[in-house]
Structure 1
Amino acid sequence: MSRLHPVIVFTGSAGAGLTTVRRAFTQLCARLALTPLLINGEGFQRYGSAEMEARIAEALRKGEHFSHFALEAYLLEELEETFRRYGATGRTRYRHYIHSAAEGEALGGYPAGTFTPWEESPPGTDLLLYEGLHGAVKTERVDLPRYADLLVGVVPIINLEWIQKIHRDTAERGYRPEDVTDTILRRMPDYVNVIAPQFSRTDINFQRVPLVDTSNPFIARDIPTADESVVVIRFKDPRKFEVDFRRLLARLDGSYMSRYNSIVIPGGQQELAMELIFLPILERLVAGRCTATDR
């Protein structure tokens, strides 16, 4: 952890709602005149698209499993060093994963499914915002939570996550529903052993729960809307960030406490809840930076 150069981590699967958290934080940074360094975890994938597909196919031939959720699929030592170095110096090294030909052209002419070269972060940023799958991984070799000042988990209930993935991959990426289902099944061991344990290490979790029937996510025609959902917000230790539950309950209509460290809110109020929760945390981190600088 760092008082001078805070590291904030959002972790969760693609499609889980990380974009909403990133948008909330970047808007709050603008209000506080902070310049964030945004890093996406896809840049720390070990393999480009073609090699990843080859590795998956090889594993299937051997009767093994391999997926984007696997520890071996990511450069976790490099990611740990990215967090550690930024916290110590305010500078670090990162790269981009290229999603499309247009994106590759904009970044310098790189093919889709590859990476840009590693580059040094620009000077003058105030905090690191990391968004990706493995931000709270802890193993015998790496300890990413050690270097994070705030860990945020975004994890819809599993049926909703599957619905969102099926809809995204079929509508935006042209996959067949049965192919997406195969991917979900192949990833399951890594989801259980790698992804899910991270949410026990996060400081704050946002879990969206639909209020409509999602019993069979593989035939669902629509993604439940925010107004058809509630969000459970769990604070691992409310004292760490001096969470004012009375203030949250007063500002968020229809909210209630389900446990001593958990508040349930209507899904349509998630962004307001993020603003109310994250603004005092950011202000406290900024105050800590100023105090450390004065010394």
Structure 2
Amino acid sequence: MFYEGLHGGVKTDNADVAGQVDLLVGVVPSVNIEWIQKIYRDTSERPYTPEQVTEIILDRMQDYVEFITPQFDNTHINFHRIPLVDTSNPFSGQAVPTPEDSLVVTTVRIDGVDLQAVADKLPAEAMAFLQNDTTLVYKGSFMVDVMDIMLTPIIDQLMTNK
């Protein structure tokens, strides 16, 4: 099963979705990129003004703090996009940073993933390096490549074990 959404890794006193999955992958931009993306999407694809989107963000802040961000503690692998351009005021109407204007910090919390081998399979222009034993950093435009290299053997193994 593939699930994309806000609550795939939720774990509360009343629900444990995270405990039901074989592989939980988080894909999250830094919070300012997330807000820039939301403002752009809601004003271009939905009938909202930037001010209305800002109000929605503020109204949802408690849920964001209590339910959304804690889920990333439950993931097996996180892909976290970090901007390399100024996003200090996400409410200023700026463009969403491109993958080329970002780095991705990928953290792995499961055994069997050789991050050095993943880095070695990337071209030099990915500028990939291991920050530590569980964290690989690389240019944002290579995130899909890293997902393919890293996740394909994991998914193959999950399918073999089913």
TM-score tier (shorter):
over 0.9
Aligned counterparts of 1:221 and 1:144: Cα–Cα separation in 2: 35
Cα shift readout 1:150-172 (whole Å, capped 9, x = no counterpart): 00111110000000000000111
1:232 to 92, 105, 122: 105
The alignment yields a C-alpha RMSD, in angstroms, of: 1.0
Q: Contact 1:258–1:264 (CA<8 Å) still a contact in 2? A: yes
Please give the residue correspondences for 1:1-20 in structure 2 after superposition, counting only pairs within 5 Å: none
Where does residue 29 of structure 2 map in the other structure?
A: 156
Please give the residue correspondences for 1:240-251 in structure 2 after superposition, counting only pairs within 5 Å: 242-251=112-121
1:155 maps to a residue whose letter is V
The structure number with the bigger radius of gyration is 1
2:63 maps to a residue whose letter is D
2:68 maps to a residue whose letter is I
Q: Give the number of aligned pairs.
A: 159
Q: Contact 2:29–2:81 (CA<8 Å) still a contact in 1? A: yes
Q: Residue 216 in 1 paired to residue 117 in 2?
A: no
Give SS of 1:230's match: strand
Query: Structure 2-normalised TM-score?
Result: 0.94
Moved over 2 A (4+): none
**1:259 offset after TM fit, Å?**
2.2
1:197 to 65, 70, 88: 70
Query: Structure 1-normalised TM-score?
Result: 0.53
Where does residue 144 of structure 2 map in the other structure?
A: 271
1:137 maps to a residue whose letter is V
**1:221 offset after TM fit, Å?**
2.2
Aligned counterparts of 1:163 and 1:133: Cα–Cα separation in 2: 17
**1:220 offset after TM fit, Å?**
3.6
Please give the residue correspondences for 1:88-167 in structure 2 after superposition, counting only pairs within 5 Å: 128-167=1-40
Aligned counterparts of 2:115 and 2:11: Cα–Cα separation in 1: 30
Identity, % of aligned pairs?
47
2:118 maps to a residue whose letter is L
Aligned counterparts of 2:92 and 2:66: Cα–Cα separation in 1: 27
Aligned counterparts of 1:259 and 1:249: Cα–Cα separation in 2: 13
Query: Any unmatched runs of 5+ in structure 1?
Result: 1-127, 290-295
